[in-house]
């Protein structure tokens, strides 16, 4: 009796929990990326984004740059390690404490804070937990002796990563290039696939079943197989590496899925409406424009989301079918080559660049997501 139409299933709670889990699985990485985009590279490397509001234990190196004073045979350097020139900026946002210190880069935390140890200059060094230090030496050093220490560093949220990414040379040009590639590469396959889907769904002609089988078969062909032959073809006919070339490449790679989705949706439209239009004298083109297209908007929107996300995030096809010159770079290529090419370990830049690149796809998805499920399920359930 639970499956009678109009009554709720007893497994509604399971469906709700599943949806909640899926939402969390999607949201958690996005939130983590957003939080990490405001953090310093060293803090990202030291701790996860979920503990970003708390202090992080980091290793520093600096020089005891206080003015030395002579007492007897020794020179004294006395001051606060947090106020030295090389690390002062890292501790401006809050209080911190020293956990350990050292005299060599290989052992930055060799001695606990407050311990007096002998140094290599014939004297001793003491670094206390509050940062105060006393360094003695037999000879003065104009630059100050080198000191390493491990300290609890307050959380540091900054916009420097966004300044680096957004003000990079030609980043605005890369954004416009990405739109130049993405918008036509989304519209062109939809226009072609809509006509093809209507023909495969509602027009009778020899070989239609084979064409549908061929479309399904093309869905499982990896696009990497076609990259080199397609580029050779473009070079032969004079297109080469250009925006026209990448539009045609994305159109070809996206057409099988577009035709498959739209054909299944159009085949599920009420036959009575279409037959009534034919009885009234409507041509196939009039039926397509005035009946099929308006009724197929959910399927068109769902494919548009897929194609837009695919072309916006694409790196491989852009590297193959666009010139490597800066004027033609899209955002993915710009981020990979210029921002991360020489700074691959800078996780702050990587997180910020990734979040900037997904901002537009997120906007498109949330704007059209209500059509996504309707378009995907159409034709799959009878």
Tens digit of pLDDT for each residue in 286-300? Answer: 999 999 988 888 888
What global pTM score does this model have? 0.69
Element (H, E) at 153: strand 146-153
Alpha-helix residue ranges (DSSP H) falling in 113-170 = 160-166
Determine contact, residues 264/378, Cβ cutoff 8 Å.
yes
Distance of alpha carbon 121 from alpha carbon 32, whole angstroms: 47
Determine contact, residues 82/113, Cβ cutoff 8 Å.
no
Instruction: Indicate the domain borders of the chain.
Output: 11-51, 56-154, 162-379
Q: What are 209-265's pLDDT values in tens digits? A: 999 999 888 888 888 888 888 889 999 998 888 999 999 999 999 999 999 989 988
Residue 8: band (very low, low, confident or very high) from pLDDT cuts 50, 70, 90: low
Please provide residue 54's backbone torsions phi and psi, each rounded to the nearest 5 degrees.
-105, 165
DSSP SS3 for 96: coil
* Of 378 and 24, the one with more pLDDT: 24
DSSP string, 287-323: HIIIIIHHHTHHHHHHHHHHHHHHHHH--HHHHHHS-
The partner residues of 76 in beta bridges, in order of sequence, read 69, 136
Q: What are 129-170's pLDDT values in tens digits? A: 888 888 888 887 777 888 898 888 888 788 888 888 888 777
Q: For the domain covering 162-379, report its CATH number.
A: 1.10.3720.10
Residue 375: band (very low, low, confident or very high) from pLDDT cuts 50, 70, 90: low
């Amino acid at each position: 009796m639970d499956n009678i139409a109009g009554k709720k299933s007893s497994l509604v709670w399971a469906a709700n929990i599943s949806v909640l889990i899926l939402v969390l699985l999607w949201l958690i990485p996005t939130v983590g990326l957003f939080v990490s985009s405001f953090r310093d590279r060293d803090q990202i490397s030291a701790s996860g984004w979920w503990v970003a509001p708390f202090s992080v234990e980091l290793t520093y190196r600096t020089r005891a740059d206080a003015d030395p004073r002579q007492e007897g045979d020794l020179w004294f350097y006395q001051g606060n390690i947090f106020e030295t020139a090389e690390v002062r900026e890292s501790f401006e946002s809050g209080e911190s404490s020293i956990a350990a210190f050292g005299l060599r880069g290989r052992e930055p935390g060799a001695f606990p804070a407050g311990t007096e140890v002998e140094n290599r200059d014939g004297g001793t060094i003491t670094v206390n937990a509050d940062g105060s230090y006393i360094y003695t030496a037999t000879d003065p050093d104009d630059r100050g002796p080198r000191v390493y220490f491990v300290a609890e560093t307050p959380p540091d949220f900054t916009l420097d990563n966004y300044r680096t990414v957004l003000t990079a040379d030609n980043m605005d040009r890369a954004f416009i290039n990405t739109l130049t590639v993405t918008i036509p590469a989304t519209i062109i396959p939809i226009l072609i696939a809509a006509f093809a889907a209507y023909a495969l769904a509602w027009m009778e002609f020899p070989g239609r079943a084979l064409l549908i089988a061929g479309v399904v078969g093309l869905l499982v062909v990896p696009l990497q197989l076609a990259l080199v032959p397609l580029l050779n073809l473009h070079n032969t006919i004079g297109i080469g590496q250009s925006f026209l070339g990448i539009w045609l490449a994305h159109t070809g790679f996206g057409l099988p899925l577009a035709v498959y989705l739209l054909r299944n949706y159009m085949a599920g439209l009420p036959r009575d409406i279409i037959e009534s239009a034919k009885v009234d004298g409507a041509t196939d083109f009039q039926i397509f424009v005035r009946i099929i297209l308006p009724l197929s908007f959910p399927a068109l929107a769902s494919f548009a989301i897929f194609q837009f996300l695919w072309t916006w995030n694409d790196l491989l096809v852009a590297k193959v079918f666009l010139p490597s010159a800066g004027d033609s770079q899209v955002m993915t290529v710009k981020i990979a080559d210029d921002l991360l090419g020489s700074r691959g370990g800078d996780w702050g830049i990587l997180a910020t660049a990734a979040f900037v690149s997904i901002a537009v796809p997120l906007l498109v998805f949330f704007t059209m997501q209500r059509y996504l499920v309707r378009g995907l399920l159409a034709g799959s359930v009878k």
